[in-house]
Structures are given as structure tokens and as C-alpha cells.
């Protein structure tokens, strides 16, 4: 007999039919004559109730059906008498696939803290919270591919191992097969990477953008969606050492087109979540964040504010707010500043543009003023920066001058520079941190709780 997913059973009207459900026991309650098993198979946050007439079953099996155990149930689908549930299964056959010792099973009781659940990352997907987060995460990944596919963008697979360390987005993890205890040395006593696997120093990528630009100069509109790695020692609720990033890159777009794309993209994704993840969002709202759905709707329904960095600095300096990090023209904004602008001042998502060139990457298009570049960061309530992007410098002379000014080794990016030599074109793009999006959509507060297996400093256990 074929198993039917619980999500499907719960919306079925096929009363009287014989059905098979399989899943993990969330709770079992009842008395000597009748037991009620709440069964969940991950297809939905909702459990199906299995009604067990004790007289018809072997006591020893029923005894072992405890929270966390895995069972297969065949029975009659019936309209539920109880409140809240519309259907239930009157059990006829039960097979116990696996027990879960009630003495030791860590999820025997409800109500664990998120901190505790991080220590059992191998089991936490079985909780309601992580089930909801992981289903939403899947839905958002799907919505991202759908958004771009519907608009004629091509998914470009950029490399994970990179030979250039000029991406400038952060400290990198080295990739090497040399023996760390006994690496080959050159005449100066330094490690001789010419003998390493790739014949040179290599690292894990911090961004797919530079390669994305190569794609855009051929296919027009591309995006990457892959893992990125940053070895910064920043233990914050918004940083991971391994995270996923979505980076669209579009030929012929200027910074205004780029902002339009970023705004429409974010709004479409949040809208998709509201339309397709209702049960999970309602659960998270009830458990963690009473304003969640309201906040999501607010982002979909309101235009984002667009504002130059210089004006933002003005607002911050004139505000009465006490900041931990002082503000003046030229400083990089901290998340406290970003959140003040979004949550207190404008009360709307904000796109800041035209940042000082000294705090931004070498490839951003230089403005006429000689001081700022055509950068754009999208700032979100509760998150701060969710997207960072820019119009790219397409002028070879200006780009190479900036590269020299910043002492970036030209030999590492000769291939990137050739896009400006051969058929250069105005173009723009941005990077959306996937986990920051999931933080926003789920209302969770710590980035470690929106990725199945978080990698952070001193932590890569699972």
C-alpha cells in the first residue's frame, strides 16, 4: 500500500477510505481503552491524529510508541469529532519502525530553548520550529529560481574554489592539500604553493560576483545562488562563516534599474512566502513574533525609501540617538545605524546609495564628485543590511587606476579586466544574503537558527 503524505490526508474528504501514513510520533495520550497519537511526517506543520482502540493491538508495541518513535499506520480516514482537526485515522495496523527511548530522547519534552536546540542540530529539524523554518527556507529558494526564470535570467554556476583573493569581501578560508606538518618550502622559507594541488594558493569564494559579471557580458541577465565563505571572526546574530548568496548581474542596468530590481525581487519573495507558507508563518507568529505577518505585509505594500549615504549621515548626526559607534562622514554604517534609519526614522525599508569610495569595493562605479561610488545597500527592519550592490565601473582606465590605488594584484584579475577591454557595457548587480532573507521572513533572531547546520567560529560539529 502506498503512503500518503499527512499534508494531503489533512485536506482529504475521502472519508471511509483505507490509507497509510508514516511519520514520527509527536505525542501519545489516552487511557486504558483508547490512545491518541499525534503523527507528523514533515510535509506540514500539522499533525494527523491516529486513534488507537487498545483492545485491537499488542500492548508491548503500544508501550513502545513514545514521542520520537517512527511508525507506519494503516487505517480508515474519518471525519474528526475533536476540535481543530478535520480528519483522523482509525488505526487498523501499526508497524513500529524505530523506538525512541523516553529516558534519553532529547526532544521528549517540549519547550526547549533555541540555544539548547543548536547543540542537537542533528535532531532539531524534528521540532515544529525548525520544520517551519526549513520548509520556508525551501519555499524561498524555489521562489528565487522562479523569479529569475520567469524574467529570462540564467542561473550561472560560479566556482566555489577560487584562485584570486581580490574579491575584497572578507577574509578567506584557504584550500590546500599540502601536508600542514611538513609543507614544501621555497628558497625564502615560505610555503611553496606551486607544489599545491592547483599550483597556486587557492581559497573558498567570498562571492560569485566577478564571475557573474563575465556571464552578464555574454548572457545579459544572470544570477548565481551558491554557498559563500567568510573567515571573519565575527560572532554576531547576523554572520555565518558559510552562508548562501544570490547575486544577479545585469548588462545595461544602471544603479536605478538595480534598485528597482532589488526592491521588486524582495517584495516578490516576501509575497511568495505570505501566499505559500501560511501555516508555518502563523505558527512562528504565534510562538515567537506577534508582528511577523504584519511586518511582512508592510514590506510588500510600501515603497522603499531611497537616499544618498551623505543625507543618511546627516540624519544620524542630527538624531538624539546614542550610538555605540560614533557617526561621521566616511564611516561604514553599523547595524545600529542602519536599524535606526529603518525602524525609527523612516519606518520603511531604506536603500542607501553613493557611499564613500574608501569603504566600498574597487569595482564600484565612480561618481563625478571623486569621493563617492554608485553603491546601493538595502536596509531592512530587524536585519540592517540585507542586500549590498552597485553599478560597476565599466571604464577600463578608471577601473585600473582604482585597482592600483588599492594595491590589488593585477595578475590575479587580468581576466576580469578583459571585460572592460572587449565590448565593455554598463552593468549592475547585487548580493542578497539568503539567511538574512530567511531571518526576516521567519522572524527568527539568530542566523544560526535559519540554516540546518550553521558554521560559525569554533563551531562546525554537525
Residues interacting with ligand ATP, by CB under 6 A? Answer: 169-170, 230, 239-240, 243, 245, 385-388, 431, 433, 435-436
Rounded Cα gap, residues 284 and 441, in angstroms: 10
Nearest CB to ligand ATP, comparing residues 350 and 387: 387
Nearest CB to ligand ATP, comparing residues 41 and 435: 435
Nearest CB to ligand ATP, comparing residues 280 and 435: 435
Nearest CB to Mn ion, comparing residues 135 and 238: 238
- The cell for 76 is 480508515
Q: Which does 88 bind (CB under 5 to 8 A by kind): Mn ion, ligand ATP, none?
A: none
- Shortest Cβ 444–Mn ion spacing (Å): 21
- Shortest Cβ 116–Mn ion spacing (Å): 32
Q: Which does 114 bind (CB under 5 to 8 A by kind): Mn ion, ligand ATP, none?
A: none
Regarding 433 and contact with Mn ion (CB under 5 A), the answer is no
Minimal CA–CA distance to 372: which of 410, 329, 401?
329
Q: What are phi and psi of 392, to 5 degrees?
A: -90, 150
Q: Which does 23 bind (CB under 5 to 8 A by kind): ligand ATP, Mn ion, none?
A: none
Per CB under 5 A, which region of 66-74, 99-107, 293-301, 386-394 contacts Mn ion? 386-394
- Shortest Cβ 377–Mn ion spacing (Å): 6
Q: Torsion-angle region of residue 209: left (phi > 0), alpha (psi -120 to 50) or beta?
A: alpha
- Shortest Cβ 348–ligand ATP spacing (Å): 18
- Shortest Cβ 273–ligand ATP spacing (Å): 17
**356 CB contacts (<8 Å, ≥6 apart)?**
309, 329, 330, 371, 372, 373
- Shortest Cβ 139–Mn ion spacing (Å): 25
Minimal CA–CA distance to 137: which of 435, 403, 424?
435
Q: Which does 427 bind (CB under 5 to 8 A by kind): ligand ATP, Mn ion, none?
A: none
Nearest CB to Mn ion, comparing residues 215 and 388: 388
Q: Which does 143 bind (CB under 5 to 8 A by kind): Mn ion, ligand ATP, none?
A: none
Regarding 388 and contact with Mn ion (CB under 5 A), the answer is yes
Nearest CB to ligand ATP, comparing residues 12 and 456: 456
Per CB under 5 A, which region of 10-18, 97-105, 347-355, 380-388 contacts Mn ion? 380-388
Nearest CB to ligand ATP, comparing residues 74 and 445: 445
- Shortest Cβ 396–ligand ATP spacing (Å): 24
Rounded Cα gap, residues 49 and 411, in angstroms: 65
- Shortest Cβ 393–Mn ion spacing (Å): 17
Nearest CB to ligand ATP, comparing residues 248 and 431: 431
Per CB under 5 A, which region of 125-133, 234-242, 388-396, 409-417 contacts Mn ion? 388-396
- Shortest Cβ 97–ligand ATP spacing (Å): 37
Q: Which does 130 bind (CB under 5 to 8 A by kind): Mn ion, ligand ATP, none?
A: none
SS3 sequence, 18-40? EEEEEEEEEEEEECCCEEEEEEE
Tell me which residues touch Mn ion (CB under 5 A).
388
Amino acid at each position: 500500500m502506498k503512503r500518503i503524505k499527512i499534508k494531503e490526508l489533512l485536506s482529504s474528504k475521502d472519508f471511509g477510505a483505507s490509507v497509510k501514513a508514516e511519520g514520527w510520533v509527536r505525542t501519545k495520550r489516552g487511557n486504558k481503552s483508547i490512545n491518541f497519537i499525534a503523527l507528523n511526517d514533515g510535509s506540514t506543520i500539522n499533525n494527523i491524529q491516529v486513534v488507537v482502540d487498545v483492545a485491537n493491538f499488542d500492548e508491548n508495541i503500544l508501550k513502545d510508541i513514545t514521542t520520537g518513535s517512527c511508525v507506519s499506520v494503516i487505517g480508515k480516514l474519518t471525519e474528526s469529532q475533536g476540535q481543530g482537526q478535520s480528519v483522523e485515522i482509525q488505526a487498523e495496523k501499526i508497524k513500529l519502525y524505530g523506538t525512541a527511548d523516553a529516558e534519553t530522547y532529547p526532544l521528549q519534552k517540549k519547550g526547549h530553548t533555541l540555544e539548547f536546540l543548536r547543540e542537537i542540530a542533528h535532531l532539531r529539524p524534528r521540532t515544529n520550529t525548525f520544520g517551519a523554518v526549513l520548509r520556508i527556507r525551501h519555499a524561498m529558494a524555489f521562489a528565487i529560481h522562479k523569479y529569475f526564470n520567469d524574467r529570462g535570467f540564467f542561473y550561472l554556476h560560479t566556482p566555489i574554489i577560487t584562485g584570486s583573493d581580490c574579491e575584497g569581501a572578507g577574509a578567506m578560508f584557504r584550500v590546500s592539500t599540502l601536508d600542514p606538518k611538513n609543507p614544501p618550502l621555497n628558497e625564502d622559507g615560505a610555503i611553496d604553493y606551486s607544489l599545491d594541488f592547483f599550483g597556486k594558493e587557492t581559497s573558498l569564494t567570498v562571492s560569485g560576483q566577478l564571475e557573474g559579471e563575465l556571464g552578464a557580458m555574454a548572457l545579459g541577465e544572470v544570477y548565481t545562488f551558491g554557498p559563500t565563505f567568510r573567515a571573519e571572526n565575527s560572532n554576531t546574530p547576523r554572520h555565518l562563516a558559510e552562508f548562501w548568496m544570490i547575486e544577479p548581474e545585469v548588462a545595461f542596468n544602471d544603479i536605478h534599474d538595480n534598485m528597482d530590481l532589488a526592491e521588486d525581487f524582495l517584495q516578490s519573495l516576501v509575497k511568495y512566502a505570505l501566499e505559500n507558507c501560511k501555516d508555518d508563518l502563523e505558527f512562528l507568529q504565534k510562538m515567537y513574533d506577534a508582528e511577523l505577518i504584519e511586518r511582512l505585509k508592510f514590506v510588500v505594500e510600501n515603497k522603499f525609501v531611497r537616499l544618498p549615504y551623505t543625507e543618511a549621515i546627516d540624519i544620524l548626526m542630527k538624531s538624539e540617538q546614542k550610538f555605540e559607534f560614533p557617526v561621521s562622514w566616511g564611516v561604514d554604517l553599523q547595524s545600529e545605524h542602519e536599524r535606526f534609519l529603518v525602524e525609527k526614522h523612516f519606518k520603511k525599508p531604506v536603500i542607501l546609495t553613493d557611499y564613500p569610495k574608501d569603504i566600498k569595493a574597487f569595482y564600484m562605479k565612480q561618481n563625478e564628485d571623486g569621493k563617492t561610488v554608485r553603491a546601493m545597500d538595502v536596509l531592512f527592519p530587524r536585519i540592517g543590511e540585507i542586500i549590498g550592490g552597485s553599478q560597476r565601473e565599466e571604464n577600463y582606465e578608471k577601473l585600473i587606476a582604482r585597482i592600483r590605488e588599492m594595491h590589488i594584484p593585477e595578475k590575479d584579475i587580468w581576466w576580469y579586466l578583459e571585460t572592460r577591454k572587449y565590448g565593455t557595457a554598463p552593468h549592475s548587480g547585487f548580493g542578497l544574503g539568503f539567511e538574512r532573507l530567511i531571518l526576516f521572513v521567519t522572524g527568527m533572531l539568530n542566523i544560526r537558527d535559519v540554516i540546518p547546520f550553521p558554521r560559525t567560529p569554533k563551531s562546525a560539529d554537525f
